Structures are given as C-alpha cells and as structure tokens.
Amino acid sequence: MGWRRIKAPLPPGRYYFSGNEAVAEGAIAAGCRFYGGYPITPSSETMERMAHRLGQIGGVFVQMEDELSSIAAVIGASWAGAKAMTATSGPGLSLMMENIGYAAFTETPCIIVDIQRAGPATGQATRVGSGDIMQAKWGSHGDYQIIALSPWSVQEMYDGTIRAFNFAERYRVPTFVLGDEAVGHLRETLEIKPWVRVFDRKKSRGRPPFDSKNPRQIPPMPTFGEGENLLVTGSTHDGHGIRRTDDPKVHSRLVRRLNDKILLNQQDIVDTEEFFIEDAVVTVLCYGFTARSTLTAVKELRERGHKVGFMRLKTLWPFPHERVGQLSQGVEKIFVPEMNRGQVAGEAMKSSRCEVVSFCQTNGEIIRPEVIRQEVMRVL
C-alpha cells in the first residue's frame, strides 16, 4: 500500500487520442476497475471507452439509471475496494452533488470527470464552457474540501487522470478532473510512458477509519468483506463511524479535520505553471483550454515587446492563494480570461494585492488568442 511503480497497460509510444479517450486510458493506467455512469454530451466518449476497456481487463462497468445512482454506485464500489470513477457534464454534475458531499464526509476516494459545457441548465449541450468551477468546490451543502485538476491538453487528460486517482486514494477525497468540451474533444498526440506511479489506499487493521490525531495524516481505509465491521455513515460520526449527531465536539472535530487534511497538505497538491513572470507588468492567470489561447497570445505580446506573464493553474482546488498572492506583489494587474462570468477571477481577488481584471466570454465558443491579446493590450 502507498506508492508503487507499475507498467503502463498500453505499450509505450505515441498515440493519437481525443481528450475523453485519454481520460479512460489514464484511469485504466491508474488502476481504475469500476466505472458507473450515465450518458451525457460532451463526456460520453470516456464512458464508451471504459465499457470497452474494462471488459477487456476484467473490470466492472455499469451504466446506471441516472447520475445520482452513478456516483452512488461509484462510492459503493470504492468501499468494496475499487478504484472507481464516473464522468459527466454540467447537468449530470448538478445531480451528483448530494452524493459528492457524502463522499467527502465519508472520506471515500472517487474520481469525477466533468467535461464542462455551456450552462446554465441544458444550455448549449455541445458547446464549451467552464462554468462549473465553483460548483465543483461548493456544490454540495456544508463545508468540505475536494481536489480539482484543470487539464489543458490530451496529454494532461491522461496524466491528470492518473494524478487524480493518486490524490483521491492518498487523501481519501473526491477528486475532479475539470475538463471542458474543447479539451475533451481535442485530438492530438499522446505520449504513453512505460511506467506509471500509482498510490493505493492505506489499510491498518483495527485503527479508526474516520479519525487521526494529526490532521495532516489520513486515516486508513478498510474494505467491505475484510471482517472490520465497518460503519460508514453520512451522519456525524466518531473515529469508528458511530453516529454522534448530537455531540458538538465530534461534529466540530470532524468538519475541521476534513478541511484540514486537504488544506494542510496543499503544498503537495497545488500545481501551477509559469512563463515570462520575472519582469511582467501584467500576468494572465488562466486554466483549462483557455490557457492554450493565452499562451499563444502572451508569446505574441512578448514578441511585440510587452511585459506580459503567463500563469496556468494546473490544479484549481484547493485554490493556490499563496502563489497568486506572491504573484500579485510583482505585477500591476492580473488578467483572468474565462469561459464563465469570472469564477476564478473572483477567487483570485481574495489573495491578490493588485488589481484583478476579469474577462468573461459565455457564448459557447473558445476564447481566441487574438481576443486575449487585444484585451490584454487594453489593460497594459
């Protein structure tokens, strides 16, 4: 248990995959052996590939009757010992929210791949958006933490899915791959390396599965059928899972620990990528597919002599407040282009000491490099 190195299931080399297919291959490589899902555009290709691949390798695939049952089956399978996942898009994510909160509260490792489309409601089902950033973090009631990654390429849909499984197993937390329609349907070269590092949840007989003295440490996770007499409940519980719904101390301790176990370990989780930061006057803070357009725009602006920086959030939750705060001290403005109405810009304002300029585009289309270039020029 813990880290180990395994051979990649696919022969090493270069492949030509869509982002959604790469998610499925990353999941298989990470050890995912259970998929429960419900069809939804624009994420269904992951489900179709998982149906095919899990059949080949003796995993379990089930198409459930809706998204509520899909995530429920994933959580049930996770406690039965599986590395388990589902994939969906906005409306399906909305339906999953109650059980995602349950997974956070019961410390159940699971992966939710959300291929964001243009919402709200049914919106533009086949078009791109990134309006689920806040929902992924705050969508279920109560205070809890999740981890969310924001891939920008087919390579990262593969690598990021492996990473997401490792985070979920290591921290016993629901982990999101927050893709979008553009990166899900993008086709480009994927390089499969010969080895994969995977993390398997830790077990320790008899130790309480829902508490640890040190909040940074993650309690061990037994599996059904091992004779541990597991008590898993979504009600407030003590370290052994016994319901303690009228004890203020138990509830306070549990909620704090569930938040602390992620926030106190965020140095291991948070990941950003930065270019041209040193002398930048304006830095563009970006994520997901929009980061591709941003990088092109920033390079063009640099070629024209403008001091513009690039910072990409590879992880969105926990939010890299510390890094954004540091960045804000060295620039005049942070510019945030997004396919929503300023969800990450608003979050960045919490830790920024400079002006944060939000650029929002919610028309179901990607933000083109020239648009970012022009908009940055206006604030330079």
Partner 1 sequence: MVRAMEQYLRSEIPSTPFCPGCGHGILLGLVLRSIHALGIDMREMLFVSGIGCASWIPSPHFNADTLHTTHGRAIAFATGAKLYNPKLRVMVISGDGDLSSIGGNHLIHAARRDIDLKVICANNMIYGMTGGQVAATTPLGSTTSTTPLGNPDRPFDLCKLVQAAGGRFVARHSVTQPLALMESIKKSLSFEGFSFIEVLSPCATQYGSKNLLESAPKIMEWLMENCIPREEAEGLSPEELEEKIITGEWGYVETGTG
Q: Is 263 in the site for partner 1 (CB under 8 A)?
A: no
Smallest separation, CB 352 to partner 1 (Å): 38
> Which window, 5-13, 69-77, 179-187, 292-300, contacts partner 1 (CB under 8 A)?
69-77
Q: Say if CB 36 and CB 67 are below 8 A apart.
A: no
Provide the sign of the torsion angle of the four alpha carbons 262, 265, 266, 269, taken in this order.
negative
By CB under 8 A, name the one of 6, 12, 197, 231 that touches partner 1: 231
| Stretch near partner 1 under the rule CB under 8 A, chosen from 33-41, 49-57, 161-169, 355-363 | 33-41
At its nearest, how many Å lie between partner 1 and the CB of residue 111?
14
Interface with partner 1 (CB under 8 A), residue from 9, 10, 41, 62? 62
Give the span between the Cα atoms of 149 and 349, in whole angstroms. Answer: 20
Nearest alpha-carbon partner for 148 in 192, 185, 100: 100
Reference 165, options 69, 74, 84; nearest CA is 84
Q: Residue from 17, 28, 43, 102 that binds partner 1 (CB under 8 A)?
A: 102
- For residue 55, the Cα-to-chain-centroid distance in whole angstroms is 26
111: tokens are: 């992966």
Residue pair 334/328 in contact (Cβ under 8 Å)? The answer is yes
Q: Tell the smallest beta-carbon distance from residue 68 to partner 1 (Å).
A: 6
129 vs 119: CA distance, rounded Å: 7
Give whichever of 19 and 31 is closer to partner 1, judged by the CB atom: 31
Distance CA 318, CA 331 (A): 23
- Least distance in angstroms from the C-beta of 229 to partner 1: 6
CB 250 → partner 1: shortest distance, Å?
Answer: 14
CA angle 288, 218, 216 (to 5 degrees): 80
Q: Is the Cβ of residue 74 or residue 285 nearer to partner 1 in the bound state?
A: 74
Q: Does 380 bind partner 1 (CB under 8 A)?
A: no
The residues with which 284 forms a beta bridge, in sequence order, are 310, 335
Token pair recorded at residue 16:
């030509």
Examine residue 243 and tell whether it contacts partner 1 (CB under 8 A): yes
Q: Residue 225: exposed, middle, or buried by beta-carbon count in 10 A (0-12, 13-18, 19+)?
A: exposed
Q: Which of 5, 65, 246, 378 binds partner 1 (CB under 8 A)?
A: 65
Buried b (16+ CB within 10 A) or exposed e, 260-293: ebbeebbeebbeeeebbeeebebbbbbbbbbbbb
In single-letter form, the type of residue at position 35 comes to: Y
- For partner 1, the closer of residues 80 and 380 by Cβ is 80
Handedness of CA 272, 286, 340, 126 (dihedral sign): negative
Closer to partner 1 at the Cβ: 58 or 248? 58
Report if residue 74 touches partner 1, rule: CB under 8 A: yes
Total residues contacting partner 1 by CB under 8 A comes to 41
**Which residue's CB is nearer to partner 1, number 226 or number 268?**
226
Give residue 174's identity as a one-letter amino acid code. P
The reply to whether 272 sits near partner 1 by the rule CB under 8 A is no
Task: Select from 77, 115, 297, 344 the one that contacts partner 1 (CB under 8 A).
Answer: 77
* Contact call for residues 349 and 356 (beta carbons, < 8 A): yes
Q: Which among 16-24, 230-238, 298-306, 371-379 is the span making contact with partner 1, rule CB under 8 A?
A: 230-238
Q: Which of 189, 195, 214, 242 is in the footprint of partner 1 by CB under 8 A? A: 242
Any contact of residue 76 with partner 1 (CB under 8 A)?
Answer: yes
Rounded distance, CA 143 to CA 140, Å? Answer: 8
Exactly one of 10, 41, 51, 68 binds partner 1 (CB under 8 A); which one? 68
Interface with partner 1 by CB under 8 A: which residues? 33-34, 36, 60, 62, 64-66, 68-70, 72-82, 84, 98-99, 102, 224-235, 241-243
